[in-house]
Amino acid sequence: MGKRLKKLGLRAQDTSELFFDNVRVPAENLLGGPAMENRGFICLMEQLPWERLQIAITAVAAAQSAIDQTVAYVKERKVFGQAVGAFQNTRYTLAELQTEVQVARVFVDKCCELVCDDKLDTATASMAKYWCSDLQCKVMDECVQLFGGYGYMWEYPITRAYADARVQRIYGGTNEIMKEVISRGMGLGGR
């Protein structure tokens, strides 16, 4: 095992390089049995839609949590003699974010139905992953802004959520790769 890596977010999770040099796995110990020998990459690829949907689910849940934290904060925080939540800009920003998160939730729910029916395809899962993780980052950014200076302080959960959100657009395939997968599903093959 290599040294512990220092990440921007998800700091509570240990992350380090693992090395499997000269490792031999007997065929009878392979996941799925001997018939799965040399099929590991295929098995991984078959699970990508489910992995991407899980990222989308997490993104929607985290975005909703950020909105909930922000609503509670802006009701209490006073500026110019009134609650931050009393300002039209604050109300409209949160209304827009809540609407977008609700739309994302409906799409994710539909994707979950597709999983239950064994019909979730790679392109649709890629749409959910890219859209929801982009939305999560947008929501986090807007919520940090509404917290003002406190939103930049590490002891506030919104700040940690902001840092944790960034990786969602990277793992499971970057959102640029998701767009490539989607466009290929539309018959728009690239190089």
Catalytic (active site) residue 46: no
- Residue spans per domain, the chain: 44-167
Class level of CATH domain 44-167: mainly alpha
Span 74-95, mean pLDDT?
A: 98
Strand 82-83, strand 78-79: pairing: antiparallel
Given 17, 37, 46, 51, which residue is catalytic? 51
The alpha carbon of residue 12 and the mean position of all alpha carbons in its chain are separated, in whole angstroms, by: 17
* Kind and range of the H or E run holding 82: strand 82-83
State which amino acid sits at residue 103. V
pLDDT digits (tens, 9 = 90+) for 49-81: 999 999 999 999 999 999 999 999 999 999 999
Is 80 exceeded by the pLDDT of residue 103?
yes
Given phi > 0 = left and psi -120 to 50 = alpha, else beta, which region is 81?
A: left
pTM of the complete model: 0.90
